[in-house]
Structure 1
Amino acid sequence: MFVQPMWLVMLSWAVLFVGLASTAVVVVDQFVLGYRQPVKVMEMVWPVNALYLGPAAVLGYRKWGRPQSPRWLDRHGSPPRRSLNARTTIKACHCATHCTLGVLIATPVTYGFGLEMFGSTLWPEVVGDYVGAAAVGVAFRYYTEARTGGRRAWAVMRKFFMRDLLTVSVFEFALLGWLALMHFVFFHETLRPNGPVFWLIIQAGLIIGFFAAWPPTLLLTRRGVETELLSTPQ
């Protein structure tokens, strides 16, 4: 039986702690210190990305998210101008939020019910991740469309398939490749969500997915395709 080395377990706990602490920093800044986001889905986007990007997400939030809040605008005036790379990164964070929440939904379902496909728990998990990411993406778009009276389910799904499905798919395929490598080659199907190493592998896979989704997100951004509302509604 494969035994996970102690250094890896300790590293996993440390990384998990950093991710949770980073999420707490963003949540406190938004809901306790009052730097609320004008686009409410962003109040989920920034903390969720902090779960796996850690301090990097906190820095991104401080640079691009916090200046969008009414409290910051009252004190400093108009927010700083965002570069193309900044807009692309924020949109990639939207995609990553869908996929991260998909993982958090699919993992307890897969392992809680003991689901297997082709003799492995990996395949139902990745299918669940993908379906969960798509469902969260549609829900996010449905919510953001509400302010314009656009709550038509078919129209929302059409926008998701046109504007979000590419990045979500690239993200998920990169995550799948990483999980398959870890699951079958390095850990010999011993990874389970009741241990910290499992979640370290998930965090690393989410980072890989984020960087894989960045180029197609840049392509969509250059073409003027908006994946989500990103700033103060006009």
Structure 2
Amino acid sequence: MAPAWLTVLSWAALTVAFLCAAWIVYDARVAGWRQRMAVMEWVWPVTALYAGPLAVWAYLRWGRASTARAAEANGGKMPGKPFWASVAVGVTHCGAGCTLGDIIAETGVFLLGWELFGEHLYAEFFWSYVLALALGVVFQYFAIAPMRDLGVAEGLWEALKADVLSLTAFEVGLFGWMAVMRFALFPADPLRPDSAAFWFLMAVGMCIGYLTSYPMNWWLIRRGVKEAM
């Protein structure tokens, strides 16, 4: 079981994260800051689920800059941003697919009691990667295909090339942290998805995954495999 202080901290952090995600949805869809790239209206709130206020800060600085309203205020031109910031926004695509894939996988493995090699964690690794890759390719497709004016087949292939290495780098960080959670922090009584502490620590792992994915995204964008955001 998680100690009481961790449970309290987890509920507080998760509440803040959900409020941040809800505010971004409101700002984009109700307040009128509609994203030029529609898929980003999913990516930004999903990012807030693990990054909380940091995601709001990034959204206010770079998300709103990618809107028609921002272009109007800038004389009809889309405000630019430095390359490092384009990479940072690009990583959110990968992070969104991983986040949704992991939420579905962790919940499903827990509810169905699945194991791999006698261990829940390995089943979580397998299904998290499969679902994260599928969702990540979808997110990449709706970013790359419109920007390059590609058909479905070609767009999916380009999305797959852009996402596999990026997503794998993200999962390396996340899975490493999940192993620490399982074998170092809570070896005798592993945390499960029915506890707030589990999801709070998973959010920490997703932040770590973001950091491990950043250098790979930098390289992919420099090589032209992935679009700069």
- Is residue 172 from structure 1 mapped to residue 147 from structure 2 by the alignment? no
Equivalents in 1 of 2:49, 2:128: separation in Å? Answer: 17
1:128 corresponds in structure 2 to 127
1:182 corresponds in structure 2 to 181
How many angstroms does 1:140 deviate by?
Answer: 2.3
How many angstroms does 1:85 deviate by?
Answer: 0.5
Kindly provide the CA deviation profile for residues 43-73 of structure 1, in whole angstroms up to 9, marking residues without a partner as x: 0111111111111111111111112211332
Equivalents in 2 of 1:161, 1:33: separation in Å? Answer: 34
Equivalents in 2 of 1:139, 1:102: separation in Å? Answer: 12
1:215 corresponds in structure 2 to 215
Equivalents in 2 of 1:105, 1:123: separation in Å? Answer: 15
2:18 corresponds in structure 1 to 20
Q: Give the partner amino acid of 1:94.
A: H
Task: Return the TM-score normalized by structure 2.
Answer: 0.91
Equivalents in 2 of 1:131, 1:13: separation in Å? Answer: 29
Asked whether the equivalents of residues 164 and 227 of structure 1 are also in contact (C-alpha less than 8 Å), the reply is no
Which stretches of structure 1, 4 residues or longer, exceed 6 Å deviation after superposition?
A: none
Asked whether the equivalents of residues 138 and 156 of structure 1 are also in contact (C-alpha less than 8 Å), the reply is no
Asked whether the equivalents of residues 115 and 124 of structure 1 are also in contact (C-alpha less than 8 Å), the reply is yes
1:50 corresponds in structure 2 to 48
Give percent identity, aligned residues only: 38
2:81 corresponds in structure 1 to 82
1:64 corresponds in structure 2 to 62
How many angstroms does 1:163 deviate by?
Answer: 1.7
- How has the CA–CA distance of structure 1 residues 39 and 25 changed in structure 2, closer, same or farther, with 3 Å as cutoff? same
- How has the CA–CA distance of structure 1 residues 149 and 160 changed in structure 2, closer, same or farther, with 3 Å as cutoff? closer
SS at match of 1:190: coil
- What is the Cα-based RMSD across aligned positions, in Å? 1.7
Equivalents in 1 of 2:34, 2:64: separation in Å? Answer: 8
How many angstroms does 1:221 deviate by?
Answer: 2.1
Equivalents in 2 of 1:227, 1:72: separation in Å? Answer: 21
2:151 corresponds in structure 1 to 150
Asked whether the equivalents of residues 48 and 55 of structure 2 are also in contact (C-alpha less than 8 Å), the reply is yes
How many angstroms does 1:149 deviate by?
Answer: 5.2
- How has the CA–CA distance of structure 1 residues 38 and 80 changed in structure 2, closer, same or farther, with 3 Å as cutoff? closer
- Is residue 198 from structure 1 mapped to residue 198 from structure 2 by the alignment? yes
Equivalents in 1 of 2:22, 2:160: separation in Å? Answer: 32
- How has the CA–CA distance of structure 1 residues 142 and 221 changed in structure 2, closer, same or farther, with 3 Å as cutoff? closer
How many angstroms does 1:79 deviate by?
Answer: 3.4
- How has the CA–CA distance of structure 1 residues 99 and 227 changed in structure 2, closer, same or farther, with 3 Å as cutoff? farther
1:73 corresponds in structure 2 to 71
Gaps of 5+ in 2: none
Q: Give the partner amino acid of 1:225.
A: V
Between the two proteins, the alignment pairs up a number of residues equal to 225
Q: Give the partner amino acid of 2:10.
A: S
Asked whether the equivalents of residues 21 and 46 of structure 2 are also in contact (C-alpha less than 8 Å), the reply is yes
